[in-house]
Amino acid sequence: MTADSNPLLAWGTLPDFDAITADHVGPAMRETLARCEADLTALEARAAELDAFALVGALEPIEDRIGWTWTLANHLNSVRTTDLLRKAIEAVQGEVVAFQSRLAQSRPLYEAFRRLRDGDGFDALPSAVRRVVILNLRGAEHSGVGLVGEARERFNKNQQELARLSLEFGNNVLDATKAWSLDLTTGDEVRGLPKSLLGLAAQNARSAGHEDATADRGPWRVTLDYPSFVPFMEYAERRDLREQVYRAYVTRASAPPFDNGPLIERILELRREQARALGFETFAELSIDAKMAPDVAAVSALLGDLREVSYAAAERELGELGAFAAGHGGPDRLAVWDHAYWARRLRQARFDYSDEELRPYFPLPQVLDGLFALAERLFGVRVTANDAVRGWHEDVRFFDVADDSGAPLAGFYLDAFSRPANKRGGAWMNECVGRSRALADGDGVRLPIAYLVSNQSPPVDGKPSLMTFNEVQTLFHEFGHGLQHMLTQVDEGAVAGINGVEWDAVELPSQFMENWLRHRPALERFARHYETGEPLPAELIDRVLASQTFRAGTAFLRQLYFADLDLAIHHRYEPGGALTLAQVQADVVARNTVVPPLPEDRFICSFGHLFSGGYAAGYYSYKWAEVLSADAFSAFEEAGLDDEDAVREVGHRFRDTILALGGSLDPMSVFVRFRGRKPDTAPLLRHNGLVAA
């Protein structure tokens, strides 16, 4: 079998998405696994004789081949899923996990890496090679290389089950989201909804078979997909309908046939068992052992410090919201489905603008132009569209990235629009192809390619995608991840770009890019009306910037709640123990919320970050990295944001450290190289208005 007969075997190339079908998955993965198994066996036989460069270079093709094919199959399952594709992935997943365990638990490779680490010449090796050695040793130990006999068999069996449960969890969330909708047919039911949402809801209705649906006449279909759910909760005047939609959202995937409740209990049970098999008391201890944070106590301390400064602010903001609602015809006591609606009205009253007022100034093509211009200004790179490269959907576009001399550096696919029928929600960046010298054709390096995916409002009724400010932030965020992948200068694939970067530092570049949306000149460069070309009025920019700290305490506390809940269920909760999961969650609620969730709230059943993503016992990473990103941005503030020469100098230093070094050094060393010192929490609190500047 070759790439000519199966496009999932075209390792390390741009995928031929038009040619890939579900039928290719099983044969391609088994062919890839057979090739990798043969190469691994051969490598093990000579590992003891190899120097560091030879060992790292020989291992990289094995990891890259399986990574390219398996990542591609799962990527397609995320962006254009079908029942056949799911079944094909499920059928071969066990074999993939078995090989991954076999590779991670290879005793000959482990001993070879130990020999290199303990050898006299280790300190003289390039930092990237040293990091590959260190990370392989840590990864092997966390994968059970020290287990033998029945203990190893049990560990590997658990890994198989965890992989299956993770896939099932994500599928349940997607299916539960897709299964629920609310059809509205009267003007009274859509009172208050903006034109953009009416257009999207009519488009949803047409997709569901209501061929004559229009934004003006309906019918309108509301879904639990983010571009539909969020504006409905913010604008719908019918309180009873907001309650109906809200209850559906917070109970997704919590009842048959898509019930994730039993899966969560089993996942937590297996994670704790795996951690204890490796000598850790809890899964949180195991998870954080591979992160930038030194231990669970340090994470708890950060969360506690941030809670101390945000809780009182959140209480004050709740009081303000309740008083505003009561004074403007609202209920005497706000319910949880009222908060988004009244917060939107309070913000509009206080700052005299709405998200809908901003949308016409943020058409996707212009936002992209502004984003790419910012990247050129900061990092000296140029981004241009390459429509000759086809993606997996007609809406997907490809872009080339070059340096200021025109030399190619990287590329990326952008899939921006929501497709609730077959695309999972959220936003993410993933690797299509990583930078590598070992896997290059000829004497150069293989250049990196990224997948950038989001779920913003699609074009409706002939208009371009008109973005909310939050959607603009999301695009900047994911592009920041992409920049770290694409602008790496590390040639060892295992630590190039985001590879090898500790999970609680990986959000630094993404959150850093969001900070530029708080800077007036950045907005002025691209915020223009899609029809008239008129710039976003200066006084409106003032109001937008002033509103960036609106209800910051509430936003902080929400993230702390998620992070503390994640830590609690992976550190304090004992499956089958004296406390139930609901009791542990209630304890977290008491510490981290000023508005308790509904008793029937089961949002944890759709918390994909923890159970089908990579954030288990690591959700705190968003706040941990936000400290880093705010402090990094403060370096530009100190240099002078309006001093183009200074911005360019600091931007190139950011590129040469945070973006270029990737996982070739530990993240604290990388940060200190850029900032000249260790990180400080003060800029984060100052940017969010939680302490006086």
Residues carrying an active site annotation: 478
- DSSP state, residue 47: G
Tell me the three state secondary structure of residue 563: helix
CA pair distance 230, 207, nearest whole angstrom: 20
Tell me the three state secondary structure of residue 450: strand
Query: Which of 523, 548, 518 minimizes the C-alpha distance to 537?
Result: 523
In our burial notation (b when 16+ CB lie closer than 10 A, e otherwise), range 214-247 reads bbeebbbbbbbbbbbbbbbbbbbebeebbeebbe
Partnered with residue 191 across adjacent β-strands are none
Indicate the residue type of 200.
L
Provide the token pair at 185: 């047919």
Give 172-203 as a DSSP string.
HHHHHHHH-EEEE-STTTTTT--HHHHHHHHH
- The residues, any chain, with a CB within 8 Å of residue 211's CB and separated by 6 or more, are none
Residue 303 near residue 205 (C-beta atoms within 8 A): no
- The residues, any chain, with a CB within 8 Å of residue 251's CB and separated by 6 or more, are 600, 601, 602, 605
Residue 670 near residue 502 (C-beta atoms within 8 A): no
Query: Which of 102, 163, 108, 114 minimizes the C-alpha distance to 138?
Result: 114
Residue 281 near residue 574 (C-beta atoms within 8 A): no
Tell me the three state secondary structure of residue 533: coil
Provide the token pair at 123: 């300190």
- DSSP state, residue 123: G
CA pair distance 75, 80, nearest whole angstrom: 8
Using CB atoms within 10 Å of the CB of residue 329, give its burial: 0 to 12 exposed, 13 to 18 middle, 19+ buried: exposed
Indicate the residue type of 283.
F
Provide the token pair at 622: 């968003």
